[in-house]
């Protein structure tokens, strides 16, 4: 079963998205802040990470940089989730090492396409170093 780590501090967003992903057959792991996200990524090595950018303790940009700097987790695709559909947010997310980007509110069919794309073509990620 494909395991997705969802790093999201907003309880309502977290519950809704995790429930919808579970219904689509994904095994969803949860972290409520960036630091816990990095720790779970390292210990559980999920197949993909959905990373909210605005997080307590450690934000999503820093958490992604750490995940991408660690050889044991660097290959895990990270999709950034932010509240702002601004070009600068996309740039910042990609510079932090995120493989893709999506803005809230989540359009589930669109997010699922991005997830499937990253899971299917691990060698064709344009932003992978």
Question: Site residues (CB under 5 A) for Mn ion?
Answer: 9, 52, 54
Smallest gap from residue 83 Cβ to Mn ion (A)? 7
**Closer residue to Mn ion, CB minimum distance, 54 or 117:** 54
Smallest gap from residue 10 Cβ to Mn ion (A)? 5
Smallest gap from residue 67 Cβ to Mn ion (A)? 17
For strand 78-82 and strand 100-103, is the pairing parallel, antiparallel, or unpaired? parallel
**Closer residue to Mn ion, CB minimum distance, 31 or 118:** 31
**Closer residue to Mn ion, CB minimum distance, 57 or 69:** 57
- In DSSP notation, 48-108 reads EEEEESS-SSS-HHHHHHHHHHSTTTTTS-EEEEES---HHHHHHHHHTT-SEEEESSP-H
């Amino acid at each position: 079963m494909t395991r997705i780590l969802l790093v999201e501090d907003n309880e309502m967003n977290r519950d809704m998205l995790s429930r919808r992903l579970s219904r689509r057959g994904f095994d969803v792991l949860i972290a409520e802040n960036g630091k816990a996200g990095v720790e779970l990524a390292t210990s559980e090595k999920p197949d993909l990470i959905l990373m909210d950018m605005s997080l307590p303790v450690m934000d999503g940009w820093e958490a992604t940089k750490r995940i991408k700097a660690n050889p044991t987790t660097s290959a895990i695709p990270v999709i950034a989730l932010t509240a702002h559909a601004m070009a600068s947010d996309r740039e910042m997310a990609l510079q932090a090492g995120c493989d893709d980007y999506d803005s809230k509110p989540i359009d589930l069919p669109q997010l699922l396409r991005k997830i499937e794309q990253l899971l299917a073509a691990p060698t064709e990620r344009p932003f992978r170093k």
